C-alpha cells in the first residue's frame, strides 16, 4: 500500500510538471569582456562552428534516426532515456519558475593553446544571488546532454538563490567536434575555473547583486573528480585563488584515482558503464598526444580495444558523433557482447606487463586528484554500494589526504550504503541542497 501511494504521488508530480512547466527563453552571449564591457545578447543561439584542430580520424559517422536498416542507429536504442530526459518536465517546473539561463562562450586554454568553450549560467530571476556555485557535470556522451543545450541537475542549486555556472568542458558545446579528454585533470580544472572566474564580474555588470562572497565547487561522479581537480587547480594558482577564494567543495561518487578504478574493474571484470572504457582510453591518448608517431612508442585505442569494439570503428561513431547518450552507448556495447571489462579490451591489454600499459597507466596516475593537500573545507560523499564508481576511490582519497597532513577538521566524510550510483546521485543532491538552504 505504501509503495502504491508513493508511486501515485510520483506520477502525480510528473503529470503536474508536464502540464504546468514553463519554458525559459535563454539569453545568449559572449562572456568575454570587450572594450564596451560585458554584454548580453538574445537574438541567436551559441554558434557551434568548430574553432580548434579536429582529430578527423576519430569523428565517426553521424547516425540516421530514421533509417530502420541502420543496425547501430537510434531505432536500436530509442527506448533508453537518460535521467535528465526522464525528469526534464519536473526539472522545468522546479527551475524555470525562479531560475533563468544565460548560455554563452568564454576563453580558456587547452594543451597550452587558447580555446573558446561554452557553458550555461543558472541565475535567480530576482537578480539577487546568495553566492556563486561552480558546477562540474557528471558523465554524458551526447551533445544534447551538455549544459549549453539544456538544464542539468545543477540547475536545482540555483533554486536556492545561487548563481550557478556549468561548463560544457572540451569536446562538447562549441567544441563538440573534438574528442572529449575524459578525466583529464588539467583540462577539466582550467575550463571550470576560467568560467567561474568571469561569472561574478559578468553578472554584476548586468544588474545582478551578491549577498555574500561565498564560492562553492560542486560535482558528482565525473563531476566529483572534476570538483577536486578544479579545487587543486585554483589552490595551486595564486592568481586564480585571489579571484576564487573557495568557501567549500562538495564532491560525490567521484573516480578520484583513474588507475584504481581501472584495477578494480579488471579484477572483478565488472564495469557499470561500459562506455567509459573507450572514453577513458581515447580521452587519455588524445589529450596527451600519445598517438604522436614521433614518440618512441606511440599508442592508439587499437592497442587496447577488442576486435569486436574496433569493428567498423563503431565506437568512434557511438562516442564521437555526439549523437548518442551514455545509456544508448552502454546498451549498444552490451548488444555486441562488450559489456564486461574483459570483452572490451583485448587479452594482451589485460596484462600488467603489456608495454603499452606502462605509458597508459602513467597518464592515469597523473590525472588522480589524490596527490595534493587541500586547503578549502570539503564535503565528500560516496555510497558503499556504488555500482559504477567503485568505493575504493573514496577510501584512497581519504587515505591520501591523511598521509599528506590535511587538516581533517575541515573535511566531512559521508560514507554509507546509499544504494547504487544513480541512487547516490539523488541523495547527494538532496543533502547538498539542504546544506545550502
* Rounded distance between C-alpha atoms, residue 200 and residue 210, angstroms: 8
Q: Please, what are the averages of pLDDT over each run of 10 residues along the chain (437 residues)? A: 48 42 76 77 76 71 52 48 54 74 94 93 96 95 88 88 96 92 96 97 95 97 97 98 98 94 91 92 92 94 95 87 87 92 95 94 93 96 94 95 92 96 92 93
> Torsions phi, psi of 282, nearest 5?
-70, -35
Q: Which residues contact 404 (CB under 8 A, 6 or more apart)?
A: 371, 372, 373
- Give the strand pairing for 113-124 and 99-110: antiparallel
pLDDT in tens, 239-284: 999 999 999 999 999 999 999 888 999 999 999 899 999 999 999 9
pLDDT at 122: 95
Q: What is the 3-state secondary structure (H, E, C) of 122-181?
A: EEECCCEECCEEEEECCCCCCHHHCHHHCCCCCHHHHCCCCEEEEECCCCCHHHCCCCCC
Please report the pLDDT score of residue 40 as a whole number: 81
Question: Which residues are paired to 100 by β-bridges?
Answer: 123
The confidence score (pLDDT) of residue 312 equals 81
Distance separating alpha carbons of residues 437 and 431, to the nearest angstrom: 10
E strands in 13-58:
27-30
pLDDT for position 16: 40
Cα angle 197, 414, 95; round to 5: 50
Cα 293 to the center of its chain, rounded Å: 30
Give the pLDDT score at 10: 46
Contacts of 326 (CB under 8 A, 6+ apart): 82, 139, 140, 141, 142, 145, 273, 275
Rounded to two decimals, the pTM is 0.89
Find cell 584515482 and name the residue.
Answer: 257
Residue 163 to residues 3, 98, 128, 194, Cα–Cα distance (Å): 37, 12, 9, 15
Model pLDDT, residue 37: 76
Question: Which domains are assigned to the chain?
Answer: 24-437 (3.40.50.1820)
Do 198 and 33 touch, CB atoms closer than 8 A?
yes
The whole-angstrom separation of Cα 49 and Cα 31 is: 17
pLDDT on residue 50:
72
Cβ neighbors of 153 (< 8 A, separation 6 or more) are 83, 84, 91, 425, 429
Amino acid at each position: 500500500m505504501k509503495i502504491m501511494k508513493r508511486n501515485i504521488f510520483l506520477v502525480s508530480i510528473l503529470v503536474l510538471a508536464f502540464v504546468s512547466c514553463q519554458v525559459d527563453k535563454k539569453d545568449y552571449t559572449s562572456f568575454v569582456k570587450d572594450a564596451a564591457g560585458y554584454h548580453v545578447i538574445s537574438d541567436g543561439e551559441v554558434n557551434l562552428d568548430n574553432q580548434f584542430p579536429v582529430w578527423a580520424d576519430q569523428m565517426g559517422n553521424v547516425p540516421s534516426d530514421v533509417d530502420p536498416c541502420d543496425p547501430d542507429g537510434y531505432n536500436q536504442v530509442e527506448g533508453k532515456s537518460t535521467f535528465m530526459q526522464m525528469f526534464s518536465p519536473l526539472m522545468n517546473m522546479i527551475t524555470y519558475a525562479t531560475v533563468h539561463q544565460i548560455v554563452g562562450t568564454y576563453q580558456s586554454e587547452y594543451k597550452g593553446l587558447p580555446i573558446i568553450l561554452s557553458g550555461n549560467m543558472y541565475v535567480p530571476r530576482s537578480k539577487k544571488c546568495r553566492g556563486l556555485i561552480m558546477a562540474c557535470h557528471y558523465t554524458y556522451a551526447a551533445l544534447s546532454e551538455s549544459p549549453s543545450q539544456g538544464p542539468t541537475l545543477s540547475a536545482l542549486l540555483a533554486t536556492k538563490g545561487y548563481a550557478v555556472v556549468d561548463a560544457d568542458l572540451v569536446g562538447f558545446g562549441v567544441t563538440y567536434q573534438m574528442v572529449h579528454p575524459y578525466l583529464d585533470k588539467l583540462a577539466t580544472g582550467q575550463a571550470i575555473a576560467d568560467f567561474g572566474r568571469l561569472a561574478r564580474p559578468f553578472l554584476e555588470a548586468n544588474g545582478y547583486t551578491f549577498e555574500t562572497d561565498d564560492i562553492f565547487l560542486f560535482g558528482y561522479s565525473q563531476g566529483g573528480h572534476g570538483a577536486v581537480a578544479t579545487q587543486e587547480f585554483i589552490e595551486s594558482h595564486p592568481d586564480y585563488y585571489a579571484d576564487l577564494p573557495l568557501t567549500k567543495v562538495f564532491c560525490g561518487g567521484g573516480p578520484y584515482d583513474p588507475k584504481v578504478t581501472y584495477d578494480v574493474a579488471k579484477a572483478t571484470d565488472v564495469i557499470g558503464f561500459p562506455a567509459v572504457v573507450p572514453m577513458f582510453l581515447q580521452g587519455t591518448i588524445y589529450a596527451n598526444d600519445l598517438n604522436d608517431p614521433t614518440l618512441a612508442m606511440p599508442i592508439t585505442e587499437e592497442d587496447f580495444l577488442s576486435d569486436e569494439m574496433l569493428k567498423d570503428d563503431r565506437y568512434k561513431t557511438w562516442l564521437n558523433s555526439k549523437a548518442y547518450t551514455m545509456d544508448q552507448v552502454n546498451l549498444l556495447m552490451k548488444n555486441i557482447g562488450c559489456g564486461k571489462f574483459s570483452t572490451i579490451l583485448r587479452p594482451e591489454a589485460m596484462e600488467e606487463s603489456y608495454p603499452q600499459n606502462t605509458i597508459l597507466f602513467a597518464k592515469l596516475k597523473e590525472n588522480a586528484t589524490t596527490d595534493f593537500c587541500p586547503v578549502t573545507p570539503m564535503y565528500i560523499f560516496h555510497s558503499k554500494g556504488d555500482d559504477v564508481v567503485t568505493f575504493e576511490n573514496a577510501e584512497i582519497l581519504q587515505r591520501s589526504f591523511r598521509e599528506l597532513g590535511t587538516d581533517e577538521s575541515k573535511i566531512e566524510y559521508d560514507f554509507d550504503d546509499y544504494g547504487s550510483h544513480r541512487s547516490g546521485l539523488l541523495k547527494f543532491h538532496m543533502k547538498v541542497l539542504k546544506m545550502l538552504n
